[in-house]
Amino acid sequence: MRRLTIVFSLITAGLAVLAPAAALAQPGDRPLTQLFLAPTGRVLPKGEGYFKGVALASVPMMQAGVTDRFSIGAGTPLLALGEGFAVTPKFQVQRSRTHATAVGTVHFIAGGSSEFGVGYVAHTVETDGGGAFHVAILAPYGHRGFYARPGLMLGAEHRLSARTTFITENYLLGDIPMLSAGVRVRGAHGTWDVGWMQAVAGGHTFGGPVLNVGWMF
């Protein structure tokens, strides 16, 4: 973990140096600080947050803005309740009118002394008309440091109406590509994600529905 902390700090410092001088810590659209699963470069405003139930609420997660640049959250699978949980700190390095960059981790603390997680650097490019493109580098790690090749996430969103946004979230994890597409529907305080995620491994395809529900506060 000490090695991970050093690497994570160096990445954060490097991105801060490269950030534009006019960058602002503007809050992002709360429902879209995260895609179906992956983080974006946006961050929650101070004092605001969301509760999200992934896979029909079988994996409840909560995230809240501590400052306009830093948020943190936690969650745990209901089927493994009491056997561990995840913490999700996220720090926005820079944000301008069209670009935002954030670093963070999904850190799992399991039973005993087992700890592991996925660190990430996420960047968002805003487009005219309420759309955006997202890219994230994902780095799995354990107590002995990083143990696998970094993964890549490429995503995009397009506003279909005032309440509905098309989302696509795609991964390359090792030699396994994963593709997904669907929509997010927003109400006054809630969101509903409906989509499909498909993976290809060893010449075979397998997939399943994306069904998430969220509540903003």
pLDDT attached to residue 72: 96
- Cα–chain center distance at 16: 20
Q: Is the pLDDT of residue 90 over 90?
A: yes
Single pTM value for the model: 0.81
pLDDT digit string, tens, across residues 11-41: 444 444 344 433 333 444 555 799 999 999 9
pLDDT attached to residue 170: 97
Give the integer Cα–Cα distance in Å for 164 and 183.
7
Average pLDDT over residues 159-188: 92
Domains, the chain, ranges and CATH? 2-216 (2.40.160.40)
For the record, the structure tokens of 84 come out as 């561990």
**Which position has the higher pLDDT, 123 or 54?**
123
What is the pLDDT of the chain when averaged over all its residues? Answer: 83
pLDDT attached to residue 29: 58
**Which position has the higher pLDDT, 190 or 101?**
101
For 30-55, give one letter per residue: b (16+ CB within 10 A) or e. Answer: bbbbbbbbbbbbbbbbbebbbbbbbe
pLDDT digit string, tens, across residues 108-126: 988 666 788 999 999 999 9
Q: Is 135 exposed, middle or buried (0-12, 13-18, 19+ CB in 10 A)?
A: middle
pLDDT attached to residue 22: 35
pLDDT attached to residue 21: 34
Torsions phi, psi of 49, nearest 5? -170, -175
With bands split at pLDDT 50, 70 and 90, how would you rate the model's confidence at 142? confident
Torsions phi, psi of 171, nearest 5? -125, 150
